[in-house]
Amino acid sequence: SGYDRGHLAPAADMKWSVQAMEESFYLSNMCPQDKSFNRGIWKKLEEEVREYAKHNKQIKVVTGPILEEGLPVLGPNRVSIPRYFYKALLDYSQPSIKAIAFIMKNEHSELPLSHFVISIDSLEKVSGIDFFPLLPDADEIKLEKEKCYSCWESDKNH
């Protein structure tokens, strides 16, 4: 097909369990991704998020495709080929409560990750998904407006 079976939850994040690793290869965890996207900028983002997880007590990561009408399809099962993929991250532990989102076109890119940063509010508008609805309203309003890439980067350096 010319596309990779791109993981949404990366296989490299599942090394803690043989079962989790095997289950990461279910088709329900994959979407068609341009090879240079999957092996390039998307892989870079996955590695970056893995680093964030190492340097924060816990983070929540939501990943997926932006599904919309009229997407090209692949094969007899008519699997949609997303034009965009996203990750929404939330660190809801002290001392540095923060949130960030990324949206990337399903194509090769040499741009830095900071180029793809958007607020979770913006991602919610594009995707139609309310990402962290269980947060207290005041926190949700504040956090979902953020798009501070350097806030996440500074955690890696401590």
Residue showing tokens 């309003």: 141
Give the integer Cα–Cα distance in Å for 44 and 47: 5
Helix (H, G, I), strand (E, B) or coil at 109: coil
Structure tokens at 49: 């998020």
Contact 61, 88 (CB under 8 A): yes
Tell me which amino acid residue 158 is.
Answer: H
Query: Which member of 7, 108, 115, 158 is catalytic?
Result: 7
d(CA 155, CA 158): 5
7 is catalytic: yes
33 within 8 A of 104, measured Cβ to Cβ:
no
Task: Extract the tokens encoding 79.
Answer: 């699997």
The dihedral built from the CA positions of residue 45, 102, 37 and 30, taken in this order, carries a sign that is positive
The residues carrying an active-site annotation are 7
